[in-house]
Amino acid sequence: MWKLGQKVIVVEDKFEQNLPVGEYGYIIAYDRNADNAFDYVVRIPKVNKNFFVPGSDLELEEVLVQEEVDRIEREALIDFALATHNEALFKRIMNGDAVEEEADEEHTVITKPEDFVRQINLKAWI
């Protein structure tokens, strides 16, 4: 539950109330009626109206800004990897961190069963 007066952005209009999608607003009240589908009353200054809005139609401004920053950063890294012909960086960006996990699995040392039992016994002794 968000605080009163918090700045939010309308991201959807599930109940087709002609909400101004993409516009910002401020939470001015909670709707605590259990029989109601709406969670908040939001004041949208651009249209000079109050709307009853479910929580799923709203998103915090900070979250949307962070998502946009992450997207721009990823695109810039892809451009850099392509410009410098850095294939490893490009694969890591495109595949996520899965490449690093696979590399860690490849470097595991395979020991003999006797050495493994000796290490376990040593740890158990300590």
Q: Report the alpha-carbon angle 96-97-100, nearest 5.
A: 140
- Rounded to whole angstroms, the maximal C-alpha distance in the chain is 77
Kindly tell me the burial class for residue 76, based on how many C-beta atoms sit within 10 Å of its own C-beta (0-12, 13-18, 19 or more).
Answer: exposed
Q: What is the mean pLDDT of the chain?
A: 84
Sketch out the chain's domains with CATH numbers.
7-61 (2.30.30.40), 63-107 (no CATH)
In this predicted model, which residue has the larger pLDDT, 106 or 17?
17
Tens-digit pLDDT profile for residues 54-104:
989 999 989 999 999 999 999 999 999 889 988 888 889 888 865 455 555
- Checking if the pLDDT of 106 tops 70, the result is no
Best CA proximity match to 51, nearest among 81, 16, 85, 76: 16
